[in-house]
Amino acid sequence: MATHKTPTESMVLKDRIKQCWNIPTILLLVVVFVMNWLFRIYCLKKPVDWSPLEWEPMAWVVFDTIVMFLILRLGWWFRIPALLFVSLTWTIHFTTAHFYRHMLHYGQLASVFETNASEASEYLQFVGFYPLILFFILLVLFGALTFKVSRVGWFGATVLLGVALYPVISIAIPSMMGVRDKEAYEFAHFPVEKLKQRFVNSTVFRMPAMVGQYTSIHSRMVFASYYKRELPEGIQYHPASASPEIPRRIIFVLGESDWRGHHGAYGYTLGTDRFMMARRNHPESMAAFNALSPASVTRDAISRAFTFATPRNVEPFNENMGIIDMARNAGYQTAWFSRQNWNGIYDTLVKIVAQQADETVYYSEGHDEVLIPPLFNAIKQGKRQFLVIHIWGSHLGYAERYDASDYGLAVRSSKESRQYDATIAHTDKVLKAVNQCADGHTLFIYMPDHGEVINKGHGFPEMFASQFEIPLIAWSNNRSYVSHFRDIVQKYSISNGNGRVFNTSALPFVMAEVMGYHVDDRARKQSLEDSHYIFNVDGYAYPISALRQS
């Protein structure tokens, strides 16, 4: 008669270990660890952002490996969402590392949420099928690796929650206990933003944390946009102080992705901006400045150039009037005509700025010239007006931004830059058309939101100077308007070692004085201090000395 051994506790434990740590499970752990290690050590070489959790890169490798490994081992209906989440996460990281040589930054993610369909299609043309192919490769890889792995039980789920929530718990508990600590205090008042800061160096939670931060900040800005804003301290408007130097009409052409390094008016030998080049020969009626954008993506640049928000402080966006508000306050009739669609997943910061105008109109089709007829129709003789046209300019997707005649003007350009130079020619054509409504009472201003790394785009975390170097041009048949504008801009210009530059974060102060406001010395001094900084897509302000050639 056969006898059966009663399993001992050690035998049961060994059996459980074998079930939990089979070869597929061990292989999955190794693959996840190697991916995290290679990505961080060899692709990034260092933590990408400051965080209160000052862990070494290897600590983040271990953290992300444990979390990702346990997520992929979730069973039941969790398995498919886990595979999709991990595959999408790695697709985003590898794509941004490949095209931008960095992890996804807050400014880039915010731009994604505020990107309209046209911009999205152009970005997809830029990256091609790379992310789609990569996503399916990763999905198949992780699907194969997890097909026969052991699923996490209660112990594994507990470890997953404990490790994943540690950055939260380590700050939430002290905050709930009322500990008098900077971290605990900030968490109590700005919990979402603080969580983003704690998870910002995690490959797993970086993107969800930034999404939370974006929705929190954006909701506050949208909420604030519907309430009356006040003039900043140090700026007053006295209607009786109106003088002949104050323009009756201001037409502001807001460009896109325009690097001044490819303007003939700024010394580019192959310049296609014939209208501006011709006007440059008459300095009494045209003023051109070496300008810097405060940011390298549209949402961050316009929100800082058209409001009193600065590279170092965004709160004035919510609290103070912007240029459009000040124009209305000074008795100008205002209108904003845009070739760039307003719609994104969320209301854009640009839309929030534009909707302060008396009239806001968007055109979804055609070249930038479609804005000329409505601009001309809006002009009312004898009225004080502030009119803005927001063009596509030289945004990536260059082939959509010019016509055959523009391409012909760029015949001497290199193969690599000919399309971009053609877009500059087209913008110049728009400026020439706008000038047809010139009279002795109109000041014209052209300024793009930011620059461009030709054929690559903008919004790179690296401080490429061409992303920030932009033209700022003002002209008029009224010489006193130009002279007055030139004098004001020079007051707000700063030295950067190679001459003087004007940071367009100071544009609200300039436009305030142009429209007849008084700016006291303290406010002007603060503006000059802020002008030494620019805002990068990584969410931090840097001195302009950090800019480097691409």
pLDDT in tens, 225-262: 667 788 999 999 987 556 788 999 999 999 999 999 99
- Answer whether residue 7 is part of any domain: no
Domain end: 162, 192, 220, which one? Answer: 220
Write out the residue range of the structural domain in which residue 118 sits: 15-220
pLDDT of residue 547: 92
How many domains are there within the chain?
Answer: 2
Report the alpha-carbon angle 308-311-317, nearest 5: 35
Say yes or no: 254 and 140 in one domain. no
Please say if the pLDDT value at position 12 is more than 60: no
pLDDT in tens, 155-186: 888 899 999 999 888 888 887 887 766 677 66
Kindly state the percentage of the chain with pLDDT values over 90: 55
Q: Which amino acid is at 474?
A: A
Tell me, yes or no, whether 433 and 482 share the same domain. yes
Q: Is residue 270 part of a domain?
A: yes
- Same domain for 398 and 369, yes or no, is yes
Reported pTM: 0.74
Q: Are residues 131 and 247 in the same domain?
A: no
For the chain, the C-alpha Rg in angstroms (whole number) is 28
Give the pairing of strands 469-475 and 442-448.
antiparallel
Q: Does 179 lie in the same domain as 134? A: yes
- For residue 150, give the amino acid letter: S
Claim to verify: residue 187 and residue 287 sit in the same structural domain: no
- CA–CA distance, 162 with 167 (Å, rounded to integer): 10
Do 211 and 244 sit in the same domain of this protein? no
Convert the pLDDT of each residue in 253-280 to its tens digit.
999 999 999 999 999 999 999 999 999 8
Handedness of CA 242, 244, 249, 252 (dihedral sign): negative
Q: Are residues 109 and 249 in the same domain?
A: no
Distance CA 45, CA 159 (A): 28
Regarding whether 542 and 517 lie in a shared domain, the answer is: yes
In a domain, 3, yes or no: no
What is the rounded CA–CA span in Å between residue 115 and residue 167? 31
**C-alpha span between 182 and 184 (Å, rounded):** 6
282: which 2 tokens?
């008459």
* pLDDT at residue 407, rounded to an integer: 95
User: Could you tell me the CATH number of the domain that includes residue 260?
Assistant: 3.40.720.10
Residue 285 is assigned to a structural domain of this protein? yes
What is the length of the chain?
550
